Amino acid sequence: MCRFQAGYLHRHPLLRDLEYYWRIEPDVEYFCDIDYDPFVFMKQNGIKYGWNIAMTEFMDTIKTLWNTTKEFIEKNPDLIADKNMLEWLVDGDNGYGGCHFWSNFEIVDLSFYRSQAYQQYFDYLDRAGGFFYERWGDAPVHSLAAAMFLNADQIHYFEDIGYFHPSVLSCPKGASKQGKCVCDDTRSFVQDGHCTVRYKQVRKKVLQPGEPYGVHDVHSGPVIMAEAYVGTGG
């Protein structure tokens, strides 16, 4: 499944004539009125990849993914975007920290996955065999690719969309006061999680160099234990 989602979904005949796709899985829930068209929003703003939840990966499943990716970068430096987001993914020891966009929610301009850069990257990973021998997930592959090949302003955090995927809830802050969401933001921690906070910091640093991008409070609790909760909206 992961190999198919990473390298073949966008080539499926049913998607051949589509410009965008929104991945929606069984058992997910949406908690807010979406009063605009995300596809139009992305097209008007030149956005190639949209996400809602960022988490850390189970590192035992991707033991050699980062080293293989670094090899690809060394061989193809011309493919890396000028204002890329690689710093978001790299830890202090120049290793992969595990942050990735949860691909169970992703809205994508399919020209990104169909691009020469993405296809070369997937083919390189596929030849390495990690999809079979380690269970490389499509989520870290998509995230690494977006961080490498897209500029920071081509990636968008849809934080205004309330979303639940077993067993993680993302509920917009102040949702109960906005009047268009029926989730309890006090039970949602991903917005203050390490990966989300770091993403915002790095994005600001890349797009606004020289501007302070201070450290925010980071929730260090067990994000995976969050449960969906339908509130009263008031």
pLDDT tens, 198-210?
Answer: 999 999 999 998 7
Of residues 147, 153, 142, the one with CA closest to residue 204: 153
| Burial letters 221-231, b for 16+ CB under 10 A, else e | eebeebebbeb
Dist. CA 42–CA 91, nearest whole Å:
30
Using only the alpha carbons of the chain, give its radius of gyration. 18
Confidence at residue 209, expressed as pLDDT on a 0 to 100 scale: 86
Dist. CA 38–CA 57, nearest whole Å:
27
Confidence at residue 11, expressed as pLDDT on a 0 to 100 scale: 78
Confidence at residue 24, expressed as pLDDT on a 0 to 100 scale: 94
106 carries an active-site annotation = yes
Q: Which residues of the chain have pLDDT under 50?
A: 213-234
Structure tokens at 204: 């600001």
CB 152, CB 125: distance < 8 Å: no
Confidence at residue 115, expressed as pLDDT on a 0 to 100 scale: 96
Confidence at residue 156, expressed as pLDDT on a 0 to 100 scale: 98
Please count the CA atoms within 13 angstroms of the CA of 82 that sit on its side-chain side. 1
Confidence at residue 4, expressed as pLDDT on a 0 to 100 scale: 60
Out of 106, 134, 159, 211, pick the active-site residue: 106
Residue 87, Cβ neighbours under 10 Å: how many? 14
Q: Global pTM?
A: 0.87
Whether omega for the bond prior to residue 167 falls within 30 degrees of 0, making it cis, is: yes
